[in-house]
Amino acid sequence: MSAFSHGERLGGRILGAVLAVVLMLATPSLSLAQAAANELARQTLGRPYWYVFVAYAVVWLLVAGWVISIARRLSDVEKRLERD
Amino acid sequence: MKSHVANEASGSGIRWLAVGMTMLGLALMLLLHWQVFFWVNTEATMGVVQRIFYIHVPAAWVGVYLAFGIVALCSGIYLWLGDERVDMAAVATAEGGMVFTTIVLLTGPLWAKIAWGTYWTWDPRLTSTLLLWFIYLGYFIVRGSTENPEQGRRFAAVVGIMGALDLPLIHLSVTWFRSLHPQPVVLKPEGPTLDPDMLMTLMTGLLAFTVLFLGLVSFRYGLERSRWNLDLKTRRAAAS
């Protein structure tokens, strides 16, 4: 025989159903809130730093690329000057 | 048109000037990086992403205004005097200008993504700067598109002069049109409105980029001189 009465069991089921509905509604809200919080955290720390480092890397890469390009062309012309 | 040609003198002086200026430019770049990442305060509204400002603005000064100003000036002198050395200076500067304008067009969107929420918008300042990049590209295409090299040089010189008309459009676009791009913070009638430390960091950036650019353009000019010497040698060998 069950320790709970029929009324108690019904009350427990209703409470469980309400909790399930609350969880179903709250879970997406919580995940959305978490996503928004992560976005805000990135706004102040992670993502902008990444963009700054990429910007400075772009400068060095393009300047280095240009220097290498000049050096190769100059070396080629000087070799031809010596050969001819 | 009276034609002058570059003499065959050694470019060792130019090479030493190029080495000296490039080394000084690199040293100033290191100082700039120390100032940007360890010294200057973080801007209150935009946060750390505002540090892109210290490379974006100097690259714009060098690639857009200084380089294309020199290209237009040298192109005008070349059309007037026909001195090939001036044309060599123009082509060397145009190549450097294109590299630094590319830096402007790549660093700007990285900053814009955080500040405006988008990498690119057809804002007047951005559009006129992209137009300048295509004018630089046109300068090289026109130069290489003719069978007669002298004609190509003259056509390119015309593009170099016409392209300079885009410079006031770029500079004044933020005041003439409704623009997302920030207004000038240094070149203002009432004087700079930047924090003194930020202004000093910007000045270091402007100096570093200018010296580095002039050093590398001198190297590129040396390449043009070597090509000219090779061409002269080939023509002399063919004639004899």
Contact A67 B113 (CB under 8 A): no
Contact B226/A49, CB-based, under 8 Å?
no
Nearest-by-CA chain A residue for B18: A67
Q: Do A70 and B226 touch (CB under 8 A)?
A: no
Query: Across all residues in chain B, what is the average pLDDT?
Result: 88
Q: What pLDDT was estimated at residue A65?
A: 96
Give B189's contacts (C-beta < 8 A, 6+ positions apart). Answer: none
Question: pLDDT at position B5, please?
Answer: 47
Average pLDDT (A33-37) is 61
Is the per-residue pLDDT at B141 higher than 60? yes
Q: Does B121 contact A at CB distance below 8 Å? A: no
Where residue A53 falls among pLDDT bands split at 50, 70, 90? Answer: very high
A9 contacts: CB under 8 Å, gap ≥ 6: A2
- ipTM score assigned to the predicted complex: 0.88
Token code pair at residue B222: 């040396």
Q: Do A70 and B223 touch (CB under 8 A)?
A: yes
- What is B27-91 written as a DSSP string? HHHHHHHHIIIIISPPBTTTBGGGGGHHHHHHHHIIIIIIHHHHHHHHHHHHHHH-BHHHHHHHH
User: What is the set of domains in chain B, with CATH numbers?
Assistant: 2-239 (1.20.120)
- Asked if the C-beta of B156 comes within 8 angstroms of chain A's C-beta atoms, the answer is no
Distances (CA, A) of B145 to A18, A52, B37: 77, 39, 45
- Residue A19 is predicted with a pLDDT of 74
B159, B162, B168, B169: CA torsion to nearest 10: -80
CB contact under 8 A, B230 and A66: no
Q: Note the pLDDT tens digit of each residue in B99-114.
A: 999 999 999 999 899 8
Q: Does residue B11 contact residue B226 with C-beta atoms inside 8 Å?
A: yes
- Interface residue B172 vs chain A (CB under 8 A): no
